[in-house]
Chain A
Amino acid sequence: ILNVEQSPQSLHVQEGDSTNFTCSFPSSNFYALHWYRWETAKSPEALFVMTLNGDEKKKGRISATLNTKEGYSYLYIKGSQPEDSATYLCAFDFGNEKLTFGTGTRLTIIP
């Protein structure tokens, strides 16, 4: 059984503060790691696909890092805004077209 763990499960952050959360995955047979944002009443939306150890990707105020040797990825949000409230999912990719998702981190930004 493949374990993709995300922590924390939920997080409340004051507007304007920065935050980060973790995705842990098996360090063997790594192919890629995906991050998605899932806003309430919407579809999950792809944020990043990361393939190389040491990779860092950025999209506006959101960035992600990848450590394949130790099996973790961090997602950072700088200067949180109310529109950042969502569940953030990571997904492990074996390279076989099928993604295994973590349980997600539910982020709530407090105005």
Chain B
Amino acid sequence: SQTIHQWPATLVQPVGSPLSLECTVEGTSNPNLYWYRQAAGRGLQLLFYSIGIDQISSEVPQNLSASRPQDRQFILSSKKLLLSDSGFYLCAWSAPGQATNYGYTFGSGTRLTVV
């Protein structure tokens, strides 16, 4: 069966420090991968979307970047965190062409607090 792992669960980082959040999927190949963020009082916002290794689209201009070094690994990064980067980050996957039929499967999330 397929599983998705996301870590760390919580993170407190000072302004200006780097960030690396990792997400891996097991039990499937060539998944579509997504990073979403929920800022305080707001809905889930799509940050990055990837259909394959080195195929990543950024949905909103921001201080963050994403990489997909392996088929089932998706990393969210920042060189210098801003206070506005605080929020709850969720990784998700779907089988190619199947998001409409089955939706996404989400990871457990990372709560990032930038201080």
Among A31, A45, A89, contact of B44 (Cβ-Cβ < 8 Å): A89
A65 within 8 A of B: no
Contact at A98–B100, with CB atoms within 8 Å? Answer: no
- The residue in A4, A31, A34 that gathers the most chain B C-beta atoms within 10 A of its C-beta is A34
Interface residues of A in 27-65 (CB under 8 A from B): 31-32, 34, 36, 42-46, 49, 51
Report whether over half of chain B's contact residues are helix, strand or loop; otherwise say mixed. mixed
Residues of B within 8 A of A51 (CB): 100
At the interface with chain A, which of B12-20, B73-81, B106-114? B106-114
Chain B, interface residues (CB within 8 Å), range: 20 to 34
Residues of B within 8 A of A43 (CB): 90, 105-109
- Shortest CB-to-CB span from A10 to chain B, Å, is 12
On whether A95 and B100 interact (CB within 8 A), knowing A42-B108, A43-B106, A44-B90, the answer reads: yes
On whether A49 and B102 interact (CB within 8 A), knowing A43-B107, A97-B32, A98-B49, the answer reads: yes
Per the bound structure, the CA–CA distance linking A11 and B11 in Å amounts to 30
Contact at B43–A102, with CB atoms within 8 Å? Answer: yes
Interface residues of B in 58-115 (CB under 8 A from A): 59, 90, 94, 96-97, 99-109
Contact at B43–A49, with CB atoms within 8 Å? Answer: no
Contact at A98–B108, with CB atoms within 8 Å? Answer: no
Residues of A within 8 A of B97 (CB): 97
Nearest CB to that of B43 among chain A residues? A103
B46 within 8 A of A: yes
Per the bound structure, the CA–CA distance linking A43 and B91 in Å amounts to 10
A67 within 8 A of B: no
- The residue in A43, A45, A46, A91 that gathers the most chain B C-beta atoms within 10 A of its C-beta is A43
Residues of B within 8 A of A (CB): 32, 34, 36, 41-46, 49, 51, 59, 90, 94, 96-97, 99-109
Residues of A within 8 A of B (CB): 4, 31-32, 34, 36, 42-46, 49, 51, 89, 91, 93, 95, 97-104
Can you list 10 A-B pairs, Cβ within 8 angstroms, ordered by A?
A: A31-B100, A32-B100, A43-B90, A49-B102, A51-B100, A91-B44, A95-B100, A97-B32, A98-B49, A102-B43
